[in-house]
Amino acid sequence: MSEKFSQDKLDRCISCGYCLPACPTYQLTGAEESSPRGRITLMRAVQSGKLEPENLLAESGFCLGCRACEPVCPAGVEYGVLLEEAREILWQGKNRPLIIRGLFLIVGNKLGMKLLGLLSPMAKERKSNPELHLMLGCFERRLYPDVSKAAAKLAPEVSVCKEQGCCGALHAHNGELEKGKEMARQLGEQLPGTIITTAGGCAAHLSSVIGRDRVKEFSEYWSTKESSVSKVQNNGHTIRVGLQDSCHLRNGMGVTQEPREILKQLGDYVEIPNAGGCCGAAGSYSLLQKPNSRKVVSQKVKDIAALNLDYVATVNPGCTRQLVTELRRAKVKTKVIHLAELVAMGIK
């Protein structure tokens, strides 16, 4: 059997199990096969030909791809890459979910991306610094156009190119790894110099392909600017605000303090319990695994409700969508807002 997974990445795992307590799906089931270690064992069996790849299909879908298993791993296992490789093997033909096929069709070509932009009034095209560009994302430009508008307003030195494509994270995470890398390379050529993104998931994928030095997530970039903000007020009081981390920004890029420091300037910052834990959005997961996605987010919704926050700030559009949906379902009044929009409120 030809090699399916990167053997060196499989070999790194020493089966210590340190990753188990960090894994949300292991927390849900307590089953070894739903843990990072268990999935790597299954991958090894597929690699050696002892197991048919189809036996890994269910777990490749159940795993959130949150990469919470990576920072806690003493052996430096790149689990996220192994999961991408598993989905590239398995999520082909009839195994590729219909929703994913539809999403690929939209973001994988120029017309689809243009339509997404035409449907929403996102940041306007402009030529500022030719070596500094704002990334507009694919679904973020359609669902949350105010995010790019806020970022563009806060950073007038940044160029905005409306013709830009998608970074390919959606493809890379859902069975089209090589296409996803190619899309990232193309975006890197289209937007020379530094790319600023308001989506943690996109930042992690893009930086893994074109280089960490070329990508700055919004909170990282804003932290380097010498700008002061005022405390945001709501009904006569300073806002109480918490943060939902982006899994890939936190676990893939190690960015955790920048958004917190910014929020402390904008209001009374409250750390949400397990703020770094996945909210269950996980890219396409909330669409493909709705019941499990809701199980993952349920405690977080209770925690947010108990804190009586005015806002939960997000740094990734998938988290915004998930928390808006689930807080509304639970009738929690806390508003969900992207960090860039909240900073813009502090500048007024």
Q: Which of 7, 14, 124, 257 binds ligand SF4 (CB under 6 A)?
A: 14
- Least distance between ligand SF4 and beta carbon 168 (Å): 19
Q: Which residues are bridge partners to 233 per DSSP?
A: 238
Nearer to ligand SF4, 66 or 183 (CB): 66
The 3-state DSSP class for residue 4 equals coil
Nearer to ligand SF4, 20 or 239 (CB): 20
State the maximum Cα–Cα separation within the chain, in Å, rounded to a whole number.
67
Q: Which of 5, 79, 269, 285 binds ligand SF4 (CB under 6 A)?
A: 79
Gap between the Cα atoms of 283 and 281, Å rounded: 6
Q: Which of 4, 5, 10, 19 binds ligand SF4 (CB under 6 A)?
A: 19
For residue 82, state whether it binds ligand SF4 (rule: CB under 6 A): no
Specify the stretch interacting with ligand SF4 by CB under 6 A; choose among 19-27, 104-112, 208-216, 337-345: 19-27
How many CB atoms sit inside 10 A of residue 90's CB?
A: 22
Task: Work out the angle at residue 238's Cα, subtended by the Cα atoms of residues 237 and 244, and round it to the nearest 5 degrees.
Answer: 130
- Least distance between ligand SF4 and beta carbon 256 (Å): 16
DSSP state, residue 191: S
Specify the stretch interacting with ligand SF4 by CB under 6 A; choose among 21-29, 149-157, 297-305, 332-340: 21-29
- Least distance between ligand SF4 and beta carbon 273 (Å): 18
Count of residues interacting with ligand SF4 (CB under 6 A): 26
Q: Which of 9, 18, 81, 162 binds ligand SF4 (CB under 6 A)?
A: 18
**Rule CB under 6 A: which of 246-305 touch ligand SF4?**
none
| Spatial CA neighbour of 317 closest among 342, 283, 289, 344 | 283
Q: Is there a contact between 195 and 206 (Cβ–Cβ < 8 Å)?
A: yes
In 63-156, which ranges are continuous DSSP H helix?
A: 79-90, 98-107, 110-118, 139-143, 145-154
For residue 68, state whether it binds ligand SF4 (rule: CB under 6 A): yes
Q: How remote is the C-alpha of 311 from its chain's centroid?
A: 20
| Spatial CA neighbour of 155 closest among 141, 140, 134 | 134
Q: Is there a contact between 259 and 233 (Cβ–Cβ < 8 Å)?
A: no
Binding mask 27-66 for ligand SF4 (x = CB under 6 A): ---------xx-xx----------------------xxxx
| Structure tokens, 241 | 């605000």
Task: Work out the angle at residue 51's Cα, subtended by the Cα atoms of residues 74 and 288, and round it to the nearest 5 degrees.
Answer: 75
**Rule CB under 6 A: which of 305-334 touch ligand SF4?**
none
Nearer to ligand SF4, 65 or 346 (CB): 65
Name residue, tokens 């929703």.
Answer: 99
Q: Which of 2, 3, 8, 15 binds ligand SF4 (CB under 6 A)?
A: 15
Using CB under 6 A as the criterion, which residues of the chain lie in contact with ligand SF4 when the complex forms? 13-19, 22-25, 36-37, 39-40, 63-69, 73, 75, 77, 79
